[in-house]
Amino acid sequence: MIITVILLGWFRLSAAQVLIKIADFFSNPIEYRMPLSMTPFEFKVGTQLVSLFGSPLIFDSTETSLENSDLLYYRSLYRFELDLLKFNFLRYVIPQNLVDFQTGFGGSYTTPLAKLKLPDGWNSESPEDGTRLFYSPRILEINFNQSVIFQWSERFCNTVQFNYGKSLATAYRSLSGDRFLDQQKTTWSIAVGMKMFMRKGERFKEAYGVEIKYISANFDRLDDPKRLSPLTGMNFNSLGVYLTFSSMFGGYETVGDDAKKLYKSGDYIAAKANFEQLLSGIPRHPRRFKVRRMIQECINQMPYQNVILAEGFIETKNFTKATNYLDQAKSKHIEELDSVITKDFQKITENFIHDMDSLFLENQIDAAEDLLKKVEILPIPDITSLSNEYWSEIYFHRGALFTEYGIWDKAVASFDMAVKKHPPIRERVDPWLLKIAYGYLNDANKSIDEKNVELALESLKRATRVRPDIQFITKEPIQILEDGVRALQKEMAIQKLKETSRQRIPVAPKIQPEPELGMQEETVLKILEKPSTINKYTDHLNHLFQLWIYSYSDGSEKQFYFRDGVLFKIETEKPSPPE
């Protein structure tokens, strides 16, 4: 069944989903990262090899040359660069984070590894102070730069940077530090490199890297107003390797990347929650438009996942979760899932019936009631009629148990509920009601033997209510006892007027709390204190019945009936008006 649901979900791929899958193939692996929005600084140090093809120096004559200038050692230059405040302005114009475009400015300082002595016959003295001159070129540059950064993991990124600026180059330096043979010219360079971030998941992070750079710097018209040298130009087009260190802001994964992983694994419910969290936390995320599409795609796939989850919970008999997932899937009204959902609901019902029947066979009525309470509130089709049948069975078992213990009132109440929940159970209830009726008659006989007329009369009345068909047995005794009770009550009223020595209780106070049916006699005694009189008797089942009478000074009475220490009836008599 699970395989069927997976296949249904796969073949239901929409055109939008196909496009998303194609785009994912070419997209950034950390697609929902935050862009690298700023690089406060980046420091670079490296070496450049100038004039890869041909001589780096240009003279006024083809026959002139500078000895050793073609050696690799003297054609290698140190270069130090510092880029500052590179900002990703484009992210505010175009909402994307596939690549980052950072614009900034910087400067560089280029100098050779060693100075070169001028040959004999060349002017080698400074016109300023007469100190010795050397060939020691230097280039100072100020530039604007544009970087393109592709971050393909939270740890690494590749970069392409283009610099365009103004450079000042000098060829000679004196021992006193004066510079000669200079030229200002526009230069440019392009570099490709890789950076490694030292920390993951941080907003600010340090990055170490390496890059290869090509520099276009051809100084072909050196300014030599004093005619110091036959050197007229320097071809410093060069290729170099650099080590870099920078501090960068951004470039960290978001919950959107977690959502993407969850989506690919088929957990559309968790993916949707993560996508929604991304939108709520970063409303203007560069991928916000795709995030909304992905949320909708998750919603489209969630019914299939709900069915798969439900079937897993059916196996573990977690009916609550299984039903909730099936109900969510059903609410989407996907026709191809309807038959699968119906079969799964049938499985839940079959498992529920099996568990309930097993509990009844094991006489675990309380456990059956707990299970029924959990299941009947679930949105399972046709569960109401089935739950009523099981409620009827539970009340029937309770009624039978109360009958066996002679607790007639509770037995009757339980049987009434059993019939109310499922009327066809009446045939099984009737024999038990007859047993209860004869139980009341037996209690009445015992009460008469104990000369407790009130309890005898109450037992006869209850027997009649339970089984009206035995009224021919109870009618005459009830009439006789009622006449006797009325006669006794009249005689007791006369006697009460004469008995001035009988214990009286002050006028009945407002009792807080009032005694309630079901209380123990100790509890009632704490509330009302000691009664005026107490009558006791024990029936044939050794049940102890007590009648507590509280006589008050205003002539009223309260009578409390106890069975085995439990209050089951309260009667109040108001004082008779004067004749």
Query: Which sign does the torsion angle of CA 427, 432, 438, 441 carry?
Result: negative
Least confident of 284-288, 373-377, 459-463: 459-463
Q: Which residue has the tokens 């006449």?
A: 483
β-bridge pairing 557-563 and 544-551: antiparallel
Tell whether the model's pLDDT for residue 501 goes beyond 70.
no
Q: Are the C-beta atoms of 386 and 353 separated by less than 8 Å?
A: yes
CATH architecture, range 504-573: 2-Layer Sandwich (3.30)
* Distance from chain centroid for Cα 290: 22
- Token pair of 354 as six digits: 């099996």
Q: Are the C-beta atoms of 105 and 77 separated by less than 8 Å?
A: no
What pLDDT is attached to residue 495? Answer: 53
SS3 label, residue 281 = helix
Report the alpha-carbon distance of residue 168 to residue 63 in Å, rounded: 28
Task: Confirm whether 33-250 and 504-573 share one CATH topology.
Answer: no
Q: Which residue has the tokens 């969850």?
A: 262
% the chain with pLDDT above 90: 45
CB crowding 164-199: b at 16 or more within 10 Å, else e: ebebebbbbbbeeeeebbebeeebebebebebebee
Exposed/middle/buried for 201, CB within 10 Å: 0-12, 13-18, 19+?
exposed
Tell me the pLDDT tens digit for each residue of 443-463. 666 665 555 556 555 655 665
For the chain, the straight-line distance linking the first and the last C-alpha, in angstroms and rounded, comes to: 87
Tell me the pLDDT tens digit for each residue of 76-112. 899 999 999 999 998 888 878 889 999 999 999 999 9
Tell me the pLDDT tens digit for each residue of 517-540. 888 888 888 888 788 888 876 765
Tell me the pLDDT tens digit for each residue of 318-328. 989 999 999 99
What pLDDT is attached to residue 258? Answer: 92
Tell me the pLDDT tens digit for each residue of 160-200. 999 999 999 999 999 999 999 999 999 999 999 999 998 88
What pLDDT is attached to residue 12? Answer: 47
Report the alpha-carbon distance of residue 568 to residue 469 in Å, rounded: 26
User: Could you tell me the pLDDT band of residue 206, with boundaries at 50, 70 and 90?
Assistant: very high
Tell whether the model's pLDDT for residue 380 goes beyond 70.
yes
Average pLDDT, integer, range 358-365: 91
Q: Of all helices (H) and strands (E), which one includes residue 261? A: helix 255-265
Report the alpha-carbon distance of residue 38 to residue 104 in Å, rounded: 9
Average pLDDT, integer, range 423-444: 80
User: Could you tell me the pLDDT band of residue 54, with boundaries at 50, 70 and 90?
Assistant: confident
Going along 380-455, which residue ranges are E strands? Answer: none
Domain layout of the chain by residue ranges: 33-250, 504-573
User: Could you tell me the pLDDT band of residue 498, with boundaries at 50, 70 and 90?
Assistant: very low
Task: Please state, rounded to an integer, the average pLDDT across all residues of the chain.
Answer: 83
The one-letter code for the residue type at 29 is P
Tell whether the model's pLDDT for residue 114 goes beyond 90.
no
The CATH number given to 33-250 is 2.40.160.20
DSSP 183-204: EEEEEEEEEEEEEEES-SS-SE
- Token pair of 532 as six digits: 């005026």
Phi, psi (rounded to 5 degrees) for 200: -105, 145
User: Could you tell me the pLDDT band of residue 17, with boundaries at 50, 70 and 90?
Assistant: low
| Half-sphere exposure of residue 423: CA atoms within 13 angstroms, side-chain side | 0
What pLDDT is attached to residue 356? Answer: 92
Report the alpha-carbon distance of residue 321 to residue 326 in Å, rounded: 9
The one-letter code for the residue type at 337 is L
